[in-house]
Amino acid sequence: MNSSLSHKSATATETTGSPSTGMNLNPSRFKTAPLTLWTDRMMNRTIKGGGLAVILTVLAIFVFIFMQSLPLFGRAKIHPRNTIQLDPSIQPLLIGADEWGELPYVLESQGLIHFISSADGKTVSQDDLSKLLEAKISSVFRHRRPGNQTFYTGTEDGRFAAVDLKYIPVFTKDSREIHRELNPGELYALSDKPYPVRLIAGAGTGDQKLIAAILAAPEGNRFVVTRLIRTVALFGPGEESMEEIHDLTGEIEGKIQKILVNGAGDEFVVLNEEGKIFYFVYTDEAPILRQIFTPFKDTQDHQVVSMDYLNGDVTLVLTNASGVNKLYSLFVAEGQPLRMYYYTKTLPPLDGGAEFYAPSLRNKAFLIGHGSSFSLRYGTTATIRAKGRLDSQIKSAILGAKYDRIFLLDSENRLHLYDLTDPHPEAGWQAFMGKVWYEGYSKPDYIWQSTGGTDDFEPKLSFVPLILGTLKGTLYAMMFALPLSLLAALYTSQFARPSFKRTIKPVMEIMASLPSVVLGFLAALWLAPLIEDKVPSFLMAVTLIPLFVLIFGQVYSRLPASVRMHVKPGYEWLLVLPIIAAGIWISWNLGPAIEKIFCTVYDSETNLRSADFRLWWATVTGMPFEQRNSLVVGFMMGFAVIPIIFTIAEDALSNVPKSLTSASLALGASRWQTAIRVVIPTAFPGIFSALMVGLGRAIGETMIVVMATGNTPVMDFNIFSGMRTLSANIAVELPEAPYLGTLYRALFLGATILFMMTFVLNTIAEVIRQKLRTKYRVL
């Protein structure tokens, strides 16, 4: 057929030439038709271009995936936007800004607020809190939350009020304007005598606000704490009332330097000038001193220069005069009943004690600095995201509510605006691969937990449990699949009848083509419940079957040749079948008995002894027993891995040059001796490469793991618990990950890791196989 085709093409070439008779020796007769040449050229180009394009495209996939994960490792970028010169007469206490960063304000210590347009630097309006409250203000404290901010103001006559500042976006025809709204709350007296409020701090939600203040009484400063509680009403806001005022002067030694109140309004910390921190918690409607600690005890100067909350109000950012930057976090330590502050991290030191501090409202980042330099840091990973310097002293700073702006006010009353681009502050090698001490945890750990129930939840993106889970799944799959497939490959290549190979290979190919979703479904809904209460039987089968077969083999090989001759070599695998069946039957029925003898658990409550492997395992090892566990996954993954290892290993084994095996057999070695001493050593690289490819398949397997495990990221190798692998993690989380968010990119990084692992394994295997081929050719 092919020859006729080529013949046809030849005649076609001939006839497309100029019409001529046989005698005509016109050279154009021998010319190829222009169309043919043109087609040839076009097709050559198309195939060259197309082929190259396809190959490049396929390879570019991984460049794309890798590129998507690259921004995770970038640092924060800060670009200057504009600088606004403020009225030099303003004596700023602190600066603030709205959610959009369009209408920042400067607050003076006497309660004067200047709202400034960030676009043109003009003062939009000035509000005087003193006028608003009709009282002379002696102290102001700002509590900032996403959405709104509250000024807690203390007056000269010992009263206080909470003033809410709200920004309201007003949409006009073609633009959006930000309007501010100040809502002064009621004035409450902090004492029966009108002592001026020297220092005030407050925070809280709409329902519960905690206010701590220092009153300058003639006999000495008094430290008082109270709460504003709003009763719940069905319609509209309920009534607000002040609780009892607690005088805590006696509890605190020394002069109070700073007070911080947490956002929930039920805790506060007080710093004195000697560097001691007093931690109070409201319990039973009264503040109780829970802990006193000195964070810089181990350094030369104990004094704390700055103390501030990180977003979430469970971590204190502290610095001392020499610029040491430490974090203390609240958690329940092991063996302790209550949450207390403990040292967690030290960040790179500053030039000196922090003079300004601004926390992010979105994540655990904060801006801190001394003198004219500032540094943007991330609390969880204890890393510096960005650094900068102005040419004059920085007085006050604030981070935009969306973590997209930086506002700095310097000593010359200039307001510097910066654009901040830092989409993935929580990422980085430390976060992905290292132990991280997360807030609320009693020690640094490897944790993958990308989403949580609360707002102040921080994503925990450690790849270590996922990589470990991947290795765990692979390990158990290989433990089952590797011996089986290698034995099968050895038998098929060396001992089975050659004609039989033609049947067995398609069977293995069918096995390889079984959809993993089917295997996963069977693992989870059929196998897992089936062996859940039959684990002893299963474990027995694993040991008994090989034992039985070996014993049978020994007995058989000792039988007289007259008996043995009835079994043709190459048919052993059929004869083994009844032995295996017997092994399964015996272990299935013996399992419960074994369970009764070895795995009984005594329950003191019900006074019952029960033979249950699941309970026994949990009591003896202290590790959980799950229905969907690694055993099930390992077994089912065998279906996916066995045919792959088998095919490659069998190829390598059966392609060992005949001359070698023939020589060995001729020298009197038995077929087993030939196989084990000649064939296996020669084909060993091939077996190794089969192992590599099998590993690659097991690592990347997704659906079986998704379906047949609980998908909990764990850090153990307990065979009776599940795991979460890299691939399952992607399948579970990517559909929910916001586009270009940290989780999204982290999952791309996971895919990159997965790709690298399998690609490296496959490349090793392929190179080894190439070498082996050359070796065989030489032999």
Partner 1 sequence: MAETQENAEQKIFVQNRRGVAGEAWVWFTAMGLTIGVAMVIGLLSLIGFRGLKVFWPQRAVVLQLQSESGSTQTMAGVITKEQEKAGHYEEGSEKQIEWQIFQGNKEVLGLSYKFVDYTDIQKVEYPLNLIRVERLEYGDAFGFPVSLKTPDGGMIDAGDPAFSGELAKAVKQATRVRKEIKTIEKKQIGKINYAIEDKKIKLKGLERKQKAGTAEAEKINAELKDLFARYEILAAKARQLRDQSAGYVLVYKISSGQEKNLPAEKMVDFYFPNQLNRIERFQRFCHRIFHFLADEPREANTEGGVFPAIFGTFVMTVMMSLFVTPFGVMAAIYLREYAKQGVLVQIVRIAVNNLAGVPSIVFGVFGVGFFVYFVGGSIDQLFFADRLPTPTYGTGGILWASLTLALLTVPVVIVASEESLASVPNGMREGSLACGASKWQTIQRVVLPAAAPGILTGFILAMARGASEVAPLMLVGVVKLAPNLPIDNIFPFMHFDRKFMHLGFHIYDLGFQSPDSEAAKPMVFATTLLLISLVVLLNLSAIWIRERLRKKYVVGTF
Q: Which of residues 425-484 bind partner 1 (CB under 8 A)?
A: 483-484
* Smaller CB separation from partner 1, 723 or 754: 754
Residue 419: name the closest of 42, 703, 158, 78 by CA: 78
How far is residue 569 from each of residues 489, 607, 656, 667, measured CA to CA in Å? 16, 59, 20, 20
Euclidean distance between CA atoms 173 and 131, whole angstroms: 34
Quick one: which of 18, 55, 85, 716 contacts partner 1 (CB under 8 A)? 55
Strand partners, 277: 271, 293
SS (H, E, C) 175-207: CEEEEEEEEECCCEECCCCCCCEEEEEEEECCC
Decide the pairing of beta strands 240-242 and 220-230: antiparallel
Residues 295-324 binding partner 1 (CB under 8 A) are none
Least distance (Å) between residue 560 CB and partner 1: 9
- 423 by Cβ neighbours in 10 Å (0-12 / 13-18 / 19+) ranks as middle
The reply on whether position 7 binds partner 1 by CB under 8 A is: yes
Euclidean distance between CA atoms 462 and 435, whole angstroms: 8
Task: Find tokens 């197309």 and name the residue.
Answer: 50
The reply on whether position 31 binds partner 1 by CB under 8 A is: no
* Smaller CB separation from partner 1, 368 or 761: 761
Euclidean distance between CA atoms 364 and 388, whole angstroms: 19
Least distance (Å) between residue 766 CB and partner 1: 5
The token duo for 14 is 């001939």
Quick one: which of 511, 539, 582, 586 contacts partner 1 (CB under 8 A)? 511
Quick one: which of 95, 304, 486, 544 contacts partner 1 (CB under 8 A)? 486
Quick one: which of 73, 526, 598, 602 contacts partner 1 (CB under 8 A)? 526
Contacting range for partner 1; rule: CB under 8 A; set: 146-154, 168-176, 396-404, 571-579: 571-579
Q: Build a one-symbol-per-residue string for 607-646: x at contacts with partner 1 by CB under 8 A, - elsewhere.
A: -xxxxx-------------------------xx--x---x
141 phi, psi to nearest 5 deg: -135, 135
The reply on whether position 706 binds partner 1 by CB under 8 A is: yes
CB 385 within 8 A of CB 371: no
How far is residue 165 from each of residues 112, 409, 498, 774, measured CA to CA in Å? 13, 21, 87, 79
The reply on whether position 649 binds partner 1 by CB under 8 A is: no
Least distance (Å) between residue 770 CB and partner 1: 8
* Smaller CB separation from partner 1, 32 or 336: 32
Contacting range for partner 1; rule: CB under 8 A; set: 54-62, 92-100, 131-139, 248-256: 54-62
The reply on whether position 589 binds partner 1 by CB under 8 A is: no
Task: Find tokens 């104990």 and name the residue.
Answer: 302
Euclidean distance between CA atoms 623 and 721, whole angstroms: 8
Quick one: which of 398, 469, 748, 768 contacts partner 1 (CB under 8 A)? 748
Quick one: which of 596, 623, 684, 688 contacts partner 1 (CB under 8 A)? 596
Least distance (Å) between residue 465 CB and partner 1: 18
CB 97 within 8 A of CB 398: yes
CB 339 within 8 A of CB 331: yes
Quick one: which of 766, 771, 774, 779 contacts partner 1 (CB under 8 A)? 766
Least distance (Å) between residue 528 CB and partner 1: 12
Quick one: which of 24, 26, 43, 193 contacts partner 1 (CB under 8 A)? 43
CB 137 within 8 A of CB 111: yes
Residues 538-557 binding partner 1 (CB under 8 A) are 545-546, 549-550, 552-554, 556-557
Q: Within 70-163, where are the H helices?
A: 129-133
* Smaller CB separation from partner 1, 398 or 695: 695
Least distance (Å) between residue 520 CB and partner 1: 7
Residues 374-403 binding partner 1 (CB under 8 A) are none
Quick one: which of 314, 358, 408, 496 contacts partner 1 (CB under 8 A)? 496
* Smaller CB separation from partner 1, 42 or 288: 42
Euclidean distance between CA atoms 490 and 654, whole angstroms: 8
Euclidean distance between CA atoms 136 and 197, whole angstroms: 10
Least distance (Å) between residue 99 CB and partner 1: 21
Least distance (Å) between residue 167 CB and partner 1: 25
The reply on whether position 336 binds partner 1 by CB under 8 A is: no
Contacting range for partner 1; rule: CB under 8 A; set: 31-39, 131-139, 213-221, 432-440: 31-39
* Smaller CB separation from partner 1, 212 or 751: 751
CA 619, distance to chain mean position in Å, is 31
**Counting every residue, how long is the chain?**
779
Residues 231-290 binding partner 1 (CB under 8 A) are none
Quick one: which of 380, 474, 485, 664 contacts partner 1 (CB under 8 A)? 485
Query: At 491, is the secondary structure helix, strand, or coil?
Result: helix
Least distance (Å) between residue 64 CB and partner 1: 6
Quick one: which of 409, 508, 679, 683 contacts partner 1 (CB under 8 A)? 508
Rg (CA), the chain: 38
Residues 173-192 binding partner 1 (CB under 8 A) are none
The reply on whether position 597 binds partner 1 by CB under 8 A is: no
Residues 60-79 binding partner 1 (CB under 8 A) are 61-62, 64-65, 68
Residue 472: name the closest of 626, 629, 616, 628 by CA: 629
Least distance (Å) between residue 265 CB and partner 1: 38
Residues 717-746 binding partner 1 (CB under 8 A) are 727, 730-731, 734-735, 739-740
Task: Find tokens 């203040």 and name the residue.
Answer: 213
Contacting range for partner 1; rule: CB under 8 A; set: 43-51, 142-150, 250-258, 309-317: 43-51
CB 327 within 8 A of CB 342: no
Q: How many residues bind partner 1 (CB under 8 A)?
A: 139
The reply on whether position 672 binds partner 1 by CB under 8 A is: yes
Contacting range for partner 1; rule: CB under 8 A; set: 209-217, 274-282, 413-421, 558-566: 558-566
* Smaller CB separation from partner 1, 399 or 642: 642
Number of neighbours of residue 79 by Cβ within 10 angstroms? 10
* Smaller CB separation from partner 1, 373 or 600: 600
Least distance (Å) between residue 391 CB and partner 1: 43
Query: At 775, is the secondary structure helix, strand, or coil?
Result: helix
Least distance (Å) between residue 436 CB and partner 1: 24
Angle at 96 between CA 90 and CA 97, to 5 degrees: 120
Decide the pairing of beta strands 373-378 and 365-370: antiparallel
Quick one: which of 23, 25, 59, 232 contacts partner 1 (CB under 8 A)? 59
Contacting range for partner 1; rule: CB under 8 A; set: 57-65, 226-234, 331-339, 716-724: 57-65
First to last CA, the chain: 37
The token duo for 567 is 């079994």
Least distance (Å) between residue 769 CB and partner 1: 9
Beta strands in 321-382 (DSSP E): 325-332, 339-347, 356-359, 365-370, 373-378
The token duo for 389 is 């310097």
506 phi, psi to nearest 5 deg: -60, -35
**DSSP single-letter state for residue 29:** G
The reply on whether position 142 binds partner 1 by CB under 8 A is: no
* Smaller CB separation from partner 1, 274 or 603: 603
Least distance (Å) between residue 678 CB and partner 1: 13
Q: 325-355 b/e with 16+ CB inside 10 Å = b?
A: bbbbbbbeeeeeeebbbbebbebeebebbbb
